Every structure is written in structure tokens, then in C-alpha cells.
Chains A and B, each alone.
Chain A
């Protein structure tokens, strides 16, 4: 007797039928792809196929990163106000010369393009304090969250939450808190204190720019440090305890050296992100009061697009300078990461 179905097969359930019905479009899609890919493989050889699969991503990367990079280089050596590169006169290094023309580099007022140097000075101050506080607060938070505290999962989520918010949303929330009639001033008034015009005082404006940016990104760096802390074997702490080590000494001699590779990654990543600061501060303070919180990226944006006379050449030259700085920082980051991986 010939059986039509395999008697050993498990009986088909409704779940199986639903699954096979759902898989129909996927199977049809891959069958459709099969024909051109087989043809391409015959044409190019199997060795070329990986490059073919990389091509779509590479094309996007090229279009939005590589091409603009070369365009910027092109614009930075041309002058005038014409948008089309082909119609712009070649000026060589004139734009760079203009940017770097200074009597005294420590005093932006003596530079020909003083806004550029003011932006660089502001960025320097911002980076110094923002990275410093970022690393410090991330470390303290990670150390606390690494302890056996009640509601540890909740606090980890809370500290990470701002990272998920759009920078514009972050800035708008804080702006709402800090405005003349904002929540914070309402609180100060209710306590019988005077209002503080946070966005009118340059020091306060810089303070809040740093504070908001640390608040928004700290969760990410905390997570990296927390992972590093959890990778330290608990045995080492017990060995240190048996060795009669005091708590502070355990931190300085065991925790910190073993966390150092993660700290380096955090420092370099925070440094790169900090140099690129734009959106949060632009929405929060608009670069003001005056140019007190105008940073390098905002300078580029304003010079190239927002000013009445759009100076693409000068903006591009400043972009290239920033690009070089970021390139160097990225090299440092790669070196640091490689050293960490090699342990």
C-alpha cells in the first residue's frame, strides 16, 4: 500500500498553517530576487558578490559624506557668493588665510575673523567643562548604579532616558524651565528670591549650555562605564579586602586602573561629540547673549547659511579646519579602542 502522506509526520496544526501562509510573500520576494542575483553572480563571479551587497550602503555613505567632503574642500578654495562651484573663482588658500589672520591668537578681538576665534574660544571652554563634568558625573552615577541599591533597574532607565530624546526636545524642555517666566524662575519668585535672567547673563548661558548637554548625554557614557565596572571580577575586590585594603585605595588602585580603558573611550567619544555641539545649544540659547555661547559648528552654519551674505567659501574653510580636528580625535579614539581590545 502506498501512503499519500508520511505516517511519522506530526499532525499539522493551525499554527503551522498560519506560519506557512505568512511565509508566502517572503518566499515570493526571495524567488523574485533569485533570478537577477543568479545572473549577476554568473556575470561578476562569486568573489564580487560581497561588494555588490555593500554597494547600497556605500552609495548612501558616498553621497552624503564623501561627496560633501570633497565639495567642502572645493568651496574652501573658491570665493564669491555664487552657489555653483564651477562658477566660483579659485582663490587658493585665501579663505584659510582670512580665518587665521590674527595679531594675537589669545585675543580674538585682534583677529580679522574674530567671530571664528570667539567661537573657537567658546568651544574650548565648553569642551573643557562639558567633558570634565560628563566624565565625572558619568563615573559617579555608574559607581552608584553598580552597587546593590533598591530600584537599580529603574534608576538605570531614568539616567538613560534623556539619551533617547531628540536634542531639540531636550533644549525646548530646558528652555521652558529656564526662561524669564519659566518654571525655575517661578520657583525662585515663590521662595521670595529675585528672578535670574539666565539667557541674558553670558556666564549663566554658558553654564546652562554645559549643564543641559551633560544631562542629555550622561546616560550613554554611564552605560559604558557601568559595563566596564561590571566586567571587573568580584574576586578582585574580595582579594583586596583580604589584603586589608581601605575603600578609597580600592577605588584608586583597583577600580580606576581596571576601568581606565573604558574611561579613555568615554573621554575621547565625549570630546568628539562636544567639539561638534550645535543643536541643543542653538535651540536653547541661539548662541547668545551676543556670541557668548556661539560654538564652531554654529559659526559655520551662520557664516554659510544664516547670514544675509552667505559666505560658502569661508564656512567651508572653517568646516575643513573642524574636520581636521575631528579626524585627529577619531584617530586617537581608534588607537584607544584598539589598545582596549588588545587589553
Chain B
């Protein structure tokens, strides 16, 4: 089993620093997902671990050994590329056997490993074909198979599903999860799709502008985001984030956002006259009667999906709010509804974007 550590890793291209001193631990057997928007440095970080990019300073440690100067070919890791990167002139069998032939493994052993991986990935009938004669999903399996046969210290996946159509992506996602359960190896997976991150990961590392915004278990990130970036990035549809000014009112605070006032109890870390951002996920906004409402909203759009309903509402002084309700809701466009933020699930962030409270007890 393999443990990977990054210690204050910095990567710069010339004078432009793209990774700003990242510390990270990937535990043995863990499925870690790097997630973030385009250009956040997630692929660069993966390539640094792979050895395909040299770091400017810091240390990459694999199983206790500093590998900064060890080339990719000798790190014993396997990578699955976004483009699959299959050798077009070789058959599926040869593609999978190539890495093993490099290490001068006996033919029988190569044969056994390739056939076993092919059986696991259900690509046995295609072993004699060239990649050109395969579908996207089949090519992806071959790319994964090429990684499996080498029995690597860890698997690195660079957005492996982004070239597949939506349906196939869901299927492959499930298969990858099953594969991890079966193989149990350390896996690092890069994606910009937070649904993939939530469903696959033991641990998610959210990256933003070359820094780790937060790392943790998927539901920890969902329930207890440490900053507005993670709050907005994790969750679909995204969390409603509203800027306000906190004004003490004796027992608690008023959060004033334009003409709207949301009353909250006293929260440690919250001070009078401070600028804050408060957040509520779409499913944590209730439709209530006018008397107990925080805000009155006009429905701009109502998406009826059958089992659930999404309402996009305009509220004077606030950005558009997304409200999620289970079941079917007979609400029409232009209708006025009364909304209340569930205090127990409400998030409060300071002016610097860092969390003050995740959940406010009344």
C-alpha cells in the first residue's frame, strides 16, 4: 500500500507561480479526488506526483522516499489520461502489455496479467483490435487496463471521463468506484465535475488558484465548508450565498442585505457592523407562511422534475435564490412565496471569505 505526501510544493513556469506551496497527505488505499475550476492547478498537481512536471521547490514523498529527482518512469505509478493516450498502432493486448514488456517480465506472466485485467474490465473480446476500432468507453477501459496490469503503487486519473457522453460517464463512474473497492489501491483522480468528486472520493481536495481551498471527506466539505469558495463549488445546484452587514440587536444579530433583514442568534466570531456572507443550500430553504418568513420572493422560473422541484426566485436586494423542494409543487412563474432559511443548516462567512459558523443554533 502506498502513501503519498506533498510538502510545501511550489511550481512556477518562469516567474509565474501556479502552485503556491501545497501540503497534502494521500493515505494508503485512499481514493482522493482533486477538484476545482479550470486553471486551478489540479492537473498540474497530478502531473507533479506522476513525475511529468518538475517542482520548483518542496518535496514529493512516496512511501517515505523523496522522489523529486526520480523520473516518472521509475516512480512505479500508473496514469490514465484524459485523451486515453493509447498507442494507435498497437492492439489492445499490446497496449496493455507494453509497460510489462519494458520491465522484461516473462511472457506467461504478461499474458496472465493482461487476460485478468481484460476479464475484470470486460474487454476480452477486443484484445486483438486496435484502439481506432473501439468506442470511447472501451478505449477508456483499455487505458484503465493498461494501468491495472502494471500493479502500480498508485493510480493517477486525469479527467478520465470527460471525453465520454453523459450516460456513459455515469456508468464508468460506478465501475471506477467498484474497481477501487475490488483493487483497494491508492487512487488520485482529477476532475472539474463535483458530482464525480462527491460520488467517488474518500477524500476531496478542492483547489482554487493553486492553493488547497479545503480537503476532507465529501460530506464534510458539503456540510462544513471552510470558505465561500468551497461553499459555492461543492453542491449542485450551488449554495445561495448572500452578502450582508451584521448589526447587533441585543440577544443576537440582524443580517441586513439591502431591504432584507434576517435575524440570527448570537454566534461566536460574529461582531457588530461586520460584513458577512451567509449561505443556504437550495434544500435548506423552506416555504413558509408570511408571518414566519425571512424574505418574500417572486418565482422567476419553476422547474418541475416530477420527483423534485427547483424554484428560481427574485428577492429584492439579494442575488437570485435557488430553492429545492421534494415532490411536485403547484407554483407558477410570477407567484409570490415566503421563504425561511433553516438556521441549523445556515452557513456564515466573514469578510475574508472564511467560515464563522456552519449551522447556527437558535
Is B a genuine binding partner of A? yes
What residues make up the interface of A, taking CB atoms closer than 8 Å to B? 233, 235-236, 238-246, 249, 253-254, 257-258, 343
Query: CB distance B79 to A258 under 8 Å?
Result: no
Complex-state Cα separation, A254 to B79, whole angstroms: 18
Query: CB distance B74 to A244 under 8 Å?
Result: yes
Q: Pick 13 A–B contacts, CB within 8 A, sort by A.
A: A236-B85, A239-B87, A240-B98, A241-B71, A242-B50, A242-B52, A242-B77, A242-B99, A244-B99, A245-B102, A258-B88, A258-B89, A343-B132
Question: Which of A241, A243, A246 is close to B52, meaning CB atoms less than 8 Å apart?
Answer: A241
Evaluate whether A242 and B72 lie within 8 angstroms (CB atoms) in the complex, with A249-B102, A253-B98 already known. Answer: yes
Task: Provide the residues of chain B in CB contact with A249, threshold 8 Å.
Answer: 102
Q: A241-B72, A245-B99 are in contact. List 19 more A-B contacts (CB 8 A).
A: A233-B83, A233-B85, A236-B87, A238-B72, A238-B85, A239-B79, A239-B85, A239-B87, A239-B146, A240-B87, A241-B51, A241-B73, A242-B72, A242-B99, A243-B98, A243-B99, A244-B102, A245-B73, A245-B98
Shortest C-beta distance, A320 to chain B (Å), equals 40
Task: Provide the residues of chain A in CB contact with B312, threshold 8 Å.
Answer: none
Task: Provide the residues of chain B in CB contact with A242, threshold 8 Å.
Answer: 50, 52, 72-73, 77-79, 99
Task: Provide the residues of chain B in CB contact with A257, threshold 8 Å.
Answer: 89
Residue B126 lies at the interface, judged by CB distance under 8 Å to chain A: no
Interface residues of B in 52-77 (CB under 8 A from A): 52, 71-74, 77
Shortest C-beta distance, B136 to chain A (Å), equals 15
The total number of A-B Cβ pairs within 8 Å is: 57
Complex-state Cα separation, A254 to B94, whole angstroms: 12
Q: Give the one of A236, A244, A253 with max B CB within 10 A.
A: A244
In this complex, the interface size class of chain B, counting residues with CB under 8 Å from chain A, is: 20 to 34
Task: Provide the residues of chain A in CB contact with B132, threshold 8 Å.
Answer: 343
Task: Provide the residues of chain B in CB contact with A343, threshold 8 Å.
Answer: 132
Complex-state Cα separation, A239 to B160, whole angstroms: 14
Shortest C-beta distance, B113 to chain A (Å), equals 14
Shortest C-beta distance, A252 to chain B (Å), equals 12
Task: Provide the residues of chain A in CB contact with B79, threshold 8 Å.
Answer: 238-239, 242
Query: CB distance A235 to B85 under 8 Å?
Result: yes
Closest to B132 in A: A343
5 closest Cβ pairs, A-B complex: A243-B99, A235-B85, A239-B85, A244-B73, A257-B89
Query: CB distance B81 to A239 under 8 Å?
Result: yes
- Interface of A, secondary structure class, is helix
Residue B150 lies at the interface, judged by CB distance under 8 Å to chain A: yes
Residue B103 lies at the interface, judged by CB distance under 8 Å to chain A: yes
Shortest C-beta distance, B127 to chain A (Å), equals 18
Closest to B73 in A: A244
Task: Provide the residues of chain B in CB contact with A233, threshold 8 Å.
Answer: 83, 85
Task: Provide the residues of chain A in CB contact with B146, threshold 8 Å.
Answer: 239, 243
Query: CB distance B89 to A238 under 8 Å?
Result: no
Task: Provide the residues of chain A in CB contact with B99, threshold 8 Å.
Answer: 242-245
Closest to B72 in A: A241
Complex-state Cα separation, A253 to B88, whole angstroms: 11
Evaluate whether A235 and B52 lie within 8 angstroms (CB atoms) in the complex, with A241-B71, A241-B73 already known. Answer: no
Shortest C-beta distance, B225 to chain A (Å), equals 34
Complex-state Cα separation, A239 to B78, whole angstroms: 9
Interface residues of B in 129-164 (CB under 8 A from A): 132, 146, 150
Shortest C-beta distance, A253 to chain B (Å), equals 7
Task: Provide the residues of chain B in CB contact with A240, threshold 8 Å.
Answer: 87, 98
Shortest C-beta distance, B20 to chain A (Å), equals 25
Complex-state Cα separation, A298 to B51, whole angstroms: 59
Complex-state Cα separation, A343 to B131, whole angstroms: 13
Evaluate whether A243 and B89 lie within 8 angstroms (CB atoms) in the complex, with A235-B83, A253-B98 already known. Answer: no
Question: Which of A235, A245, A253 is close to B81, meaning CB atoms less than 8 Å apart?
Answer: A235
Task: Provide the residues of chain B in CB contact with A236, threshold 8 Å.
Answer: 85, 87
Q: Give the one of A242, A246, A258 with max B CB within 10 A.
A: A242
Task: Provide the residues of chain A in CB contact with B89, threshold 8 Å.
Answer: 257-258
Complex-state Cα separation, A104 to B73, whole angstroms: 59
Closest to A237 in B: B85
Task: Provide the residues of chain A in CB contact with B87, threshold 8 Å.
Answer: 236, 239-240, 254
Complex-state Cα separation, A240 to B50, whole angstroms: 12
Shortest C-beta distance, A126 to chain B (Å), equals 33
Shortest C-beta distance, B106 to chain A (Å), equals 16
Closest to B75 in A: A242
Shortest C-beta distance, A293 to chain B (Å), equals 41
Q: Give the one of A233, A235, A257, A258 with max B CB within 10 A.
A: A235
Complex-state Cα separation, A246 to B51, whole angstroms: 15
Query: CB distance B102 to A246 under 8 Å?
Result: yes
Task: Provide the residues of chain A in CB contact with B51, threshold 8 Å.
Answer: 241
Shortest C-beta distance, A65 to chain B (Å), equals 38
Complex-state Cα separation, A240 to B51, whole angstroms: 13
